[in-house]
């Protein structure tokens, strides 16, 4: 779903976002989107096994969703991974993030089976969209 009501709900109810595939490279879209989200007041948790333990945008990088401490209460997973990686990310998110409400797949990323699984688990899903584009439309 990507209707305005869904996007508004995500904007309003999200506090902490795990960005899967967040790059430390400032020229990468994931970095720009994460910085934008931080600027809007969201806490961004970087997830990237190649940069585990480092800092991106002032936050510690975790190798996977399972490694994020429970006290961070992740509301949304924002996926910057290829479509074939999405089912594994969604499965891990559903298993490891008890506070998860939303699954967001970035521009060019969609996976219908993974989306249906997340929706069946009661999560709202957005595919092939970017919050840096969608959120300002509702301001």
Per-block average pLDDT, block size 10, for the chain (139 residues)?
Answer: 87 98 97 98 98 98 97 97 98 97 97 98 97 94
Q: Quick check: pTM over 0.85?
A: yes
**How many angstroms separate the CA atoms of 63 and 5, rounded?**
33
Domains annotated on the chain, with CATH: 4-132 (3.40.50.720)
pLDDT at 19: 98
* C-beta of residue 75 within 8 angstroms of C-beta of residue 47: no
pLDDT at 109: 97
- DSSP H or E segment with residue 94: helix 86-96
Q: Cβ-count burial of 113 within 10 angstroms (0-12 exposed, 13-18 middle, 19+ buried)?
A: exposed
**How many angstroms separate the CA atoms of 7 and 88, rounded?**
24
């Amino acid at each position: 779903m990507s209707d305005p009501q869904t996007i508004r709900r995500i904007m309003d109810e999200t506090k902490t976002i795990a960005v899967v595939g967040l790059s430390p490279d400032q020229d990468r879209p994931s970095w720009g989107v994460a910085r934008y989200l931080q600027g809007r007041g969201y806490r961004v948790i970087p997830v990237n096994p190649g940069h585990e333990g480092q800092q991106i945008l002032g936050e510690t990088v975790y190798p996977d969703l399972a490694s994020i401490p429970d006290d961070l209460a992740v509301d949304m997973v924002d996926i910057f991974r290829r479509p074939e990686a999405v089912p594994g990310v969604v499965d891990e998110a559903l298993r490891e993030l008890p506070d998860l409400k939303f699954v967001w797949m970035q521009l060019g990323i969609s996976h219908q089976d993974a989306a249906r699984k997340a929706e069946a688990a009661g999560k709202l899903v957005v595919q092939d969209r970017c919050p840096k584009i969608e959120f300002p439309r509702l301001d």
